[in-house]
C-alpha cells in the first residue's frame, strides 16, 4: 500500500491535465472555490452549493464503506495516487463532488445572471467530465465507479432541487439551526461505518460535514444580524470583468484565503494540543490522530471554524478594509 509502480510519462499534456482535474475533486478546490463563490458571486448560490455538496459527499463516502468494492488492481492499472488507495472504489466521490458542484452552480445561477444556457450547461458538463476522466487516468477507479458516482450525484441533485428554497429558508431563519447544524453532523461522524482497517474516508467525511456545519451557522448568524448579501463589485456570470472589478475580486480572495488558512492552522494546532494532553500522545503521532476519539473532534472543530471564519469573519474583514 505504501509503494507505487514505476512509470514513464509519454504525454505530458494528458498527465498534467488529468492530475490537475483530479485536484478539482479534493480539499484544495473546496477550500478555494466555495469561499470564492461566497465572497465574490452570490451568497444564495454558495449556500445551495454547500448544502448539495455536503449531502452528496456524505452519502458517497458512506456508500463506499458499506459496499466495500475494491479499487482497480495494480497491475494492470498504474496508480498515480497513493493516499486514496486505502479507500474503497464504488462510487467515485470525485465524480460525485464534481457533478454536484458544477451542476448545482449552473442551476443556481442560470436564472439569476445573464449568460447563454448552452454555455453554462457545457461548462458544467466539461468540468464534471474532466474530473471523472481523471479518476480513470490516475488508475483510481473503474468506469463503473465513475458512472455510478455521477449518476448517484445527479439523482440526489434532482431530488434536492425542489426543496432547495425550503431548506435554505429553514437554515437561515429557524432558531434551531445552529444546534441542528452542529449536533446532526457530529452524530453522523461518530456513528460512521466501522472498517477492519484505517481508511481516510471517515476523516474526509468529518472534514466536509464540519466545514458545512460551520458555514451553515455562519449563514444563520449573518441572517440574524442582517448582514447584507454581496452587492459590491463582483465576478458575476455574464458580466464583463473590468480591471477595477478584478482588483477587488482578487483582493477579497487572497485576503480571505490567507485568513482561512491561518484559522485552519491555528485551530488544528490548538485542538490537537488539547486532545494530545487529554489522551496523552504527541502531536506528531499519526496513529493516535487516526483514533475515533481524536480524529472526529479535531477535524470537526478545525473545519467548522474554517467554515464559520469564511462566512462571518472574512466578510467583516472585507468591509473593514473597504473591499466590499
Residues acting as catalytic residues: 94, 141
**Residue 192 burial (C-beta neighbours within 10 Å; 0-12, 13-18, 19+):** buried
| CA gap 54, 41 in Å, rounded | 20
Q: Are 229 and 44 in contact (CB under 8 A)?
A: yes
| CA gap 305, 104 in Å, rounded | 24
- Integer Rg of the chain from CA: 20
Q: Are 222 and 311 in contact (CB under 8 A)?
A: yes
> For residue 54, what is its C-alpha cell?
455536503
> For residue 201, what is its C-alpha cell?
474516508
CA–CA distances in Å: residue 41 to residues 33, 34, 115, 135, 169: 11, 10, 14, 29, 19
**Block residue for cell numbers 468591509:** 319
Amino acid at each position: 500500500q505504501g509503494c507505487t509502480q514505476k512509470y514513464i510519462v509519454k504525454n505530458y499534456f494528458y498527465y498534467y491535465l488529468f492530475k490537475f482535474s483530479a485536484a478539482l475533486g479534493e480539499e484544495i478546490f473546496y477550500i478555494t472555490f466555495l469561499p470564492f463563490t461566497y465572497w465574490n458571486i452570490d451568497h444564495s448560490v454558495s449556500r445551495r452549493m454547500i448544502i448539495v455538496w455536503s449531502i452528496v459527499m456524505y452519502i458517497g463516502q458512506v456508500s463506499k464503506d458499506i459496499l466495500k468494492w475494491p479499487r482497480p488492481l495494480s497491475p494492470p492499472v498504474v496508480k498515480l495516487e497513493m493516499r486514496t488507495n486505502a479507500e474503497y472504489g464504488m462510487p467515485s466521490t470525485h465524480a460525485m463532488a464534481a457533478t454536484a458542484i458544477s451542476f448545482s452552480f449552473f442551476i443556481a445561477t442560470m436564472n439569476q445572471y445573464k449568460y447563454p444556457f448552452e454555455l453554462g450547461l457545457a461548462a458544467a458538463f466539461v468540468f464534471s467530465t474532466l474530473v471523472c476522466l481523471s479518476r480513470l487516468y490516475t488508475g483510481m477507479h473503474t468506469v463503473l465507479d465513475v458512472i455510478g458516482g455521477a449518476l448517484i450525484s445527479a439523482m440526489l441533485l434532482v431530488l434536492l432541487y425542489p426543496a432547495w428554497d425550503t431548506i435554505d429558508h429553514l437554515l437561515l431563519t429557524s432558531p434551531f439551526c445552529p444546534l441542528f447544524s452542529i449536533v446532526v453532523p457530529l452524530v453522523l461522524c461518530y456513528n460512521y461505518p466501522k472498517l477492519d482497517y484505517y481508511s481516510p474516508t471517515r476523516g474526509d467525511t468529518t472534514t466536509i460535514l464540519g466545514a458545512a456545519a460551520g458555514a451553515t451557522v455562519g449563514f444563520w448568524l449573518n441572517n440574524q444580524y442582517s448582514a447584507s448579501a454581496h452587492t459590491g463589485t463582483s465576478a458575476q456570470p455574464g458580466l464583463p470583468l473590468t480591471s477595477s472589478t478584478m482588483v477587488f475580486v482578487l483582493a477579497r480572495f487572497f485576503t480571505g484565503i490567507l485568513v482561512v488558512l491561518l484559522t485552519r492552522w491555528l485551530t488544528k494546532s490548538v485542538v490537537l494540543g488539547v486532545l494530545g494532553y487529554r489522551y496523552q500522545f504527541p502531536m506528531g503521532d499519526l496513529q493516535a490522530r487516526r483514533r475515533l476519539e481524536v480524529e472526529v473532534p479535531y477535524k470537526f472543530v478545525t473545519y467548522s471554524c474554517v467554515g464559520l471564519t469564511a462566512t462571518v469573519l472574512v466578510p467583516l474583514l472585507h468591509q473593514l478594509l473597504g473591499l466590499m
